[in-house]
Structure 1
C-alpha cells in the first residue's frame, strides 16, 4: 500500500469520519481512532471541536500545511462577506481541488501529484503548482498527451462523485470552466464541514 494511501486512511480514522466518502475507507469497518488508545474517546472541549473542524477541512484538501492554511484564513478575512464562506471559496479554487471536482482524477492526493507532474493547463498554459488559485471563467484542461492515462479514464467514468454546478466540464474534450466561487452549501462534501468553527479557532 502506498504511503499516501496509508496517510489518507489514518486521517479518516483519526478524525472519526469517512472524509472523502469512499467505499474503501477503514472507518467502514473500524469506527475508532488509530493506535492503542483509539477506542477511548472523551467528550471534546470547545477548543477540541474547533481544532477537529480545522483538521477536517485541512485534511479534506490533501492535508494542506498549517502555514498555507493560515494564509488562506488571512485572505478569507481580507475579502468582503462571510469569512467562513470565503475560506471555502478559496480552498475550492485551488487547482488540485478543481481538477478533483472536475473528475479528471480519483482523489485529492492524486490531483496534487497530477498537477505537480505537469499534466494540467490553465487558459492554455501549463501550470504545475497545486495551490494555484483558479479564477472565475478560467478554462482548465488535461494536456493532450495525458488524456489517455488509465487513472484519468477511470476517474472520468466513475459514478462515485457528481459534478458540482459551479463548474462546466466536457469530458470528451478533457476540459472544463470554473464558473464561479461556490458557497458552502454548493460544495458536495461527503461529511459536514464547519468553516465557522475554523474561523473561531484562528480568531481566538
Structure 2
C-alpha cells in the first residue's frame, strides 16, 4: 500500500494543481508549492522539468504509484502496438483500484486501494484484493454484500463531485460496474490536463 495515503493534499501542493478536482484541495486557496520557500519556487521549468512534472502528476493521480510499478506499466505500454502514451493511460485505467474509484464506490483513489486491499470487492463473482489487478473488457466488479452499507460507500455514491465515465456501466443500486472498453486519453475524466506524451519523452531520454 502507498505510504502517501495521509499526504494526498501534499501531492496537489507539490504539483501546484488540484489533480483530482476536489473541493477541499489546498491549491484552491494557495497555488504556490509547500514549505517556507514555496512562494519563491515559480521559476521556469526546463524541458526535463516539464517532462518530470508530467510523469509525477500522472503517477500521483493513481495513488502515487512507486517508480518501479509505474516504470513496469510504461514498459508494457511501450511493447503494445499503437501510441505509447494512449496505451499507458489505458493500462492505468484497467487497474481494479482505478475502476473502483471511477465507479464512485469510494471518494478517493487512495480509499479505492485500501477498499480493494481489505477484500470488499468481487470481480466476476470472486474476491480480488489486489489493487493493481488488470481488468479485461466485459469484467464485472461489485461491492461485496457485507460492505454495501459502509458509510464510505454511501457517501461516495451520493457525491455530485464527479461523474462516471462512459467506458463503464455502473448500477449504484446494486453497486456493480462493468468495464465496457479500454478508454482513450480523451475519454478519461481527468480534472487537469494530463500529458502522457511528455511521460514517453521523459523515459525515452532517461
Give SS of 1:34's match.
coil
Q: Distance in 2 between matches of 1:148 and 1:57?
A: 32
Instruction: Report the secondary structure of 1:133's partner residue.
Output: coil
Superposition TM-score, scaled by structure 2 size: 0.96
Task: Determine the C-alpha separation between the residues in 2 that align with 1:114 and 1:64.
Answer: 16
Q: Secondary structure at the match of 1:88?
A: helix
Q: Which range moves more in the overlay, 3-12 or 111-120?
A: 3-12
TM-score between the two structures when normalised by the length of structure 1: 0.97
Q: Is the 8 A contact 2:123 2:139 kept in 1?
A: yes
For the residue of structure 1 that corresponds to 2:170, the secondary structure is strand
Question: Residue 26 of structure 1 corresponds to which residue in structure 2?
Answer: 26
Residues 144-184 of structure 1: per-residue CA shift (max 9 Å, x gap): 00000011011011111101000101111110100000000
Q: Per the alignment, do residues 130 and 38 of structure 1 end up closer, same or farther by CA in structure 2, a change over 3 Å counting?
A: same
The CA distance in 2 between the partners of 1:171 and 1:106, in whole Å, is 14
CA gap of 1:5–1:104, structure 2 versus 1, over 3 A, is same
Name the CA distance, whole Å, in 1 between partners of 2:124 and 2:79. Answer: 27
Q: How many residues align?
A: 202
Deviation string 1:72-115 (CA, Å, 9 cap, x unpaired) is 11000111111000000000010000000000000000000000
- Gap regions ≥5 residues in structure 2: none
RMSD in angstroms over aligned alpha carbons? 1.0
Match of 1:97 in 2: 98
* Cα shift at 1:5: 5.9
Alpha-carbon distance in 1 for matches of 2:90, 2:107: 21
Alignment of 1:5-16 (within 5 A): 6-16=6-16
Encode CA deviations 1:32-66: one digit per residue, 9 max, x unaligned. 00012211111000000000000000000000000
Q: Distance in 2 between matches of 1:124 and 1:6?
A: 31
Q: String of CA shifts for 1:124-151, please: whole Å, max 9, x gaps.
A: 1100000111110000000000000011
Structure 1 runs of 4+ aligned residues shifted over 3 Å read 3-6
The answer (yes or no) to whether the contact 2:4–2:64 under 8 Å persists in 1 is: no
1:203 aligns to what SS in structure 2? Answer: helix
The corresponding residue for 1:171 is 172
> Can you give the 5+ residue segments of structure 1 that lack an aligned partner in the other structure?
none
Counterpart in 2 of 1:140?
141
